[in-house]
A and B are shown apart, each in its own frame.
Chain A
Amino acid sequence: MVDLGLLGLTMQHFIDNMVSIPLIQPLIDYLLGIPVIGFVVAIILWRPMFALLIFPGLATLMTVLLFIIWFERKLTARIQWRRGPLEVLRWAEGIIQALADGLRYFFQEVIVHRDAHRPYFLQFPILIFIPVLLPLLFIPVGNIVGIRTPYALPITVAIVSLIPVFIVAIGWASNSRFAYIGTVREAFMYFAYEIPFILAVVSMILVYGTADMVTIVEKQSIPGIILNPIAALVFFISTVMATSRLPFEIPEADQEIAFGPFVEYSGIMFGLVMTIAYEKMYILSLLMSVLFLGGGNGPTIPLLGDLSAVIWMFIKTMVVMVALSFLRSIYARIRLDQALRISWTAMLQISLLAVAIGVVLNLANVV
C-alpha cells in the first residue's frame, strides 16, 4: 500500500469510491495488486477522477469531438446526395478525417498578424478551455460525479455563460473588422439566448424542486421532456443559438463576416477555437440529457455495473448532438435582428410558459 500520509489519503480511500465494473473486475483486481500501476488504476477509476478523465471528461470529449465533426460532415453529405469524407480510411467511411485535419492544423504555421494583441491573441484560445472543461466536473453519470453539490446546476450554467466573454475577448485581440462585427454579434446573441436558456433551467429546477443534478437524475422516473416539453424545446433552441449552429450561426457566418471572431486565426490556434463550439455543444447536450432525458437512467446491465449509466448517458447525449448536427443541412442562416426578435418575443413567451408549468408541477408535487 502506498501511503500519501500527509494528505491522509490511502489507496483504500480511492478503492472505496471506485467505479465498479463486474465484467473486468478480475483484471482490475489483478492490476491493483501491482505496486505503481495499481495506484494509477485506482486513481483513474476513482469516481471523481473517472468523471474528469474518462466520462464525461477528457477522453470522451476528444473522441466525441473527432466523431461529431466527421459525423456532421457525413450526415450533411448524405442529405446532400454525396459521400462526404471517405478516402482517408475507405473501409470505415473515412471516420478519421477530423484527425487528419487536426494533424494538418497542428503542423501549420501560426500567424500572428501585426495589428493583433499578441499575448491575448495567443492566450485566450487556451484560456477558454477553463469554462469549457469545468462544467464536466459537475455533470453526474449515475453515481459517477466529479463534485457533488446542491448548486451544481446553477454553477454549470454560470460557467457556460462565461464562454461568450472569452469569444468577445478573442475578437478584440484579433483587431480586425470582421472580428469586430463578429464579436458584436456574439455579444448580441449572448443576450438573445441567455434569458430563455436560464428560464428553461429554472423551470426544470422548479419541476424537480432541487438544483442538485444527481437528485434531478434520480427523480426522473418520467423523463423531463415529457414533464415539461416546452422547457425542453426552449432549451434545445437555446442550445442551437449558444453553439452558433445553423440557423443561428450568426457570429461566425462565414459568408458574411468570414468566421467573425476567428477570422485571423491559423494553424493549431484555429483548430482550438474551431472546436470551442463543438465542446460547448457537447456540454449542453450532456446538460440536456441530464435535465430532460433522464441522464444515466435506463435498464441496468449487471455485468457493466456503473458503466451502464455511462452508456445510457452517452447514447442520450449523442442523440441530442445528432439532432443538432441534422439542423445544419436543413436551415439557412437568419439575420441577427431576426434572431433577437425570435428570442425576445416568441422564445421569451414560451419560456415563461415553461416556468409556469414548472411552478404548477412544483405545487402539485408531481415529482
Chain B
Amino acid sequence: MTEKELLLDVPVQPPTELFLPIPKKFLEEAYQGDDYLVLVGPQHPGSGHMRIIVRIKGDIIVEAIPDPGYVHRSIEKLAENRLYIQNIPLLERPAIMDTGNLTLGYVRAIESALDIEIPERAKYIRTVLAELSRIGTHLYDAGILAVFMGHTTGFMWPFALREPIVEAITRMSGARITASFVIPGGIRRDVPWNVLEFIRKTTFVIERRLKSFEKIFIRNPTVIARLKGVGVLSKEDAIKFGVVGPFLRASGVEYDVRKVEPYEAYEMLNWDIPVSDDGDSYSRFLVRVEEIAQSISIIRQAVNELRAMPEGNVISEDILADYSNASSDIRGYFFKVFGNLILPQGEYTALTEASRGTLLYSIISDGESNVPYRVRAVTPGWYYLKGFMEALRGERVADLQAIYGSFGYFPPEADR
C-alpha cells in the first residue's frame, strides 16, 4: 500500500442521494411488505447526533438499525499522534459532562503502566470529582429522558441542579465542564478547603431539590406509564449483548467496576450498588436515581476524610522526580514533568466505571516513543448500543424516544 496523505475535501453540495447504511435490497423488501421505514435523526427533535433506521409494522418496531458515526472525531487516530499528556483533554472529549471519569480512565491506564502510587489526598479528590461528574451525567440523562417524553420541567430542573455541580467543578479546576484536572500521579493542584466545603454543601442542595423533582418527574404517573414495562432487556440478553453500567444493573447483574476492581478511594468508603430485576426503562432510570443518592453519600464521606488530611501533596513523588516542590500545584513544571513521559513496552488496559458504564482504555506502548503506539477507547455508549437496538425490537414507535432516553445514549461518547 502506498503512503497517502489524508486530505480534507468534503463535498459541500447537498447530496442527491441519501446515504443509508443498509443495502438497497432491504429497502425494497421492506416496502414490498407492509412495513414502513422511518428515519429518526440526526436532525430530529427526539434524537441526538445519530440516525436510527426504524422498520415498523403498524405501530410496532420490527427492527432498528443504527447509523452511528455522526460524531466520530477520530480520537483513536489522533491519540497515536500526540504526547501522552496531550491525550488527556482529547480522551476527555467523548463525554465532556463526565469529565472526572473519562480522564480518570486514561490516567489510570498510564499509572498502571508506570506502577506509581498516588497520594492519599489526590485519591480522595479524584473520587470526589468522579462522583460529581457521575451526578452531573445522571442528571443530564434524566433531563434528556424528560424532554424526550415532552416533560419540559423534567428537563429544566436537572439542568438547574447541574448548575451548582458545574460551579463546584469550576471552583476546583477552573473550567465549567472540561476540567482536565486529573493528571498521571495525581491532580493538577490541591483543592482548598472552602471549595471542598462548597462541594459538600452542594450535595445537600441537590438532595433537597431532588425531592421535589421526584414528585414532579420521577413519580409522575405519566412518566411511570411511559417507562414501566417498556424496552425490557432480560438478564440473559443484557449479558449477551454486553450492556454495561447502570443499564446492566437494571437488568439484575451486580457488576460495578468500582466494586469489582476497586480504584481510587472507593474501597475505603461505604456505599452500595443499586440493582433492579425488571430490566425495563423505568428501572434503568430508577437505578441511576439511586446512584445519585449513593454518589452524594460517597462525596460526603470523602470530603469528611479530606477534612482530616493535611493540605498539600497531591502529586506523586515518583512522577515528579526532581520537581517535588510542585507536589501541591503543578504550575510551572507541567511540561518539564510530563512532556517526555514514556511508558514501558506492553499493553495496559484500565477499566473504569464511568457514569454510563464500563469505560475501557487500552494503551499499547512500544517502550521508546513518547507517544502511544495505539490507544483503544471503548466507551459505555458503544458497548450498550447493541443492547439498546435489541430493546427497541417489538416496542411501539412512540416508545423509541422513551427507550433512547432511558439508556441515556450520548452519541459523541459512543462514536468517539
Contact = CB atoms under 8 A, between A and B. Distances in A.
Nearest to B146: A332
Interface string A53-87: 00000000000000000000000100111100000
A28 interface: no
Given A253-B150, A329-B152, A336 B398 contact: yes
Contacts of B232: none
B21 to A, nearest CB: 19
A333 B222 contact: yes
B358 to A, nearest CB: 29
Nearest to B43: A258
Contact of A255 (B147, B216, B217): B147
Given A249-B150, A335-B398, A81 B157 contact: yes
Interface in A173-203: 177-178, 181
Interface residues of A, number: 28
A334 B44 contact: no
B398 A332 contact: no
A247 interface: yes
B305 interface: no
Contact of A338 (B216, B225, B400): B225
Given A253-B398, A255-B46, A328 B152 contact: yes
A101 interface: no
A256 B398 contact: yes
A29 interface: no
A178 B220 CA distance: 28
Contact of B396 (A258, A331, A337): A337
B151 interface: yes
Interface string B231-263: 000000000000000000000000000000000
B397 interface: yes
Contacts of A82: 156, 160
Contact of A256 (B216, B223, B397): B397
Interface in A250-281: 250, 253-256, 258
A255 B222 CA distance: 16
A254 B45 contact: yes
A334 B225 contact: yes
A185 to B, nearest CB: 9
Given A80-B156, A81-B157, A181-B397, A332 B44 contact: no
B399 interface: yes
B45 A255 contact: yes
Interface in A333-356: 333-338
A246 interface: yes
A150 to B, nearest CB: 41
B38 interface: yes
A247 to B, nearest CB: 5
A258 B225 contact: no
Contacts of B387: none
B59 interface: yes
Contact of A331 (B36, B222, B401): B222
Contact of A333 (B150, B153, B156): B150
A80 B152 contact: yes
B28 to A, nearest CB: 17
B167 to A, nearest CB: 15
Nearest to A248: B222
Contacts of B401: 255-256
Nearest to B161: A81
A27 interface: no
A330 interface: yes
Contacts of B220: 330-332
A76 B45 contact: no
Contact of B149 (A81, A258, A329, A332): A332
Given A177-B38, A258-B44, A338-B225, A80 B398 contact: no
Contacts of A338: 225-226
Given A332-B223, A334-B222, A334-B226, A255 B150 contact: yes
B105 interface: no
Interface string B388-416: 00000000111111000000000000000
A53 B9 CA distance: 61
Contacts of B152: 76, 80, 328-329
B38 A331 contact: no
A79 B153 contact: yes
Residue among A79, A246, A333, A336 facing the most chain B CB atoms (10 A cut-off):
A333
Contacts of B398: 250, 253, 256, 335-336
A258 B398 CA distance: 12
A207 to B, nearest CB: 31
A255 B45 CA distance: 5
B148 interface: yes
A38 to B, nearest CB: 51
B94 interface: no
The 6 closest A-B pairs by CB, nearest first: A255-B46, A333-B150, A80-B156, A332-B151, A332-B149, A332-B222
24 contacts: A76-B153, A80-B160, A82-B160, A181-B38, A181-B397, A246-B150, A247-B150, A250-B398, A254-B46, A256-B46, A258-B45, A258-B46, A328-B152, A329-B153, A332-B146, A332-B154, A332-B222, A334-B222, A334-B225, A335-B225, A335-B399, A337-B59, A337-B396, A338-B225
Interface of A: 76, 79-82, 177-178, 181, 246-247, 249-250, 253-256, 258, 328-338
Interface of B: 36, 38, 44-46, 59, 146-154, 156-157, 160, 216-217, 220, 222-223, 225-226, 396-401
Given A253-B398, A332-B149, A333-B222, 15 more contacts: A76-B152, A80-B152, A80-B160, A246-B150, A246-B151, A254-B45, A255-B46, A255-B149, A255-B150, A332-B222, A332-B223, A334-B222, A335-B225, A335-B398, A337-B396
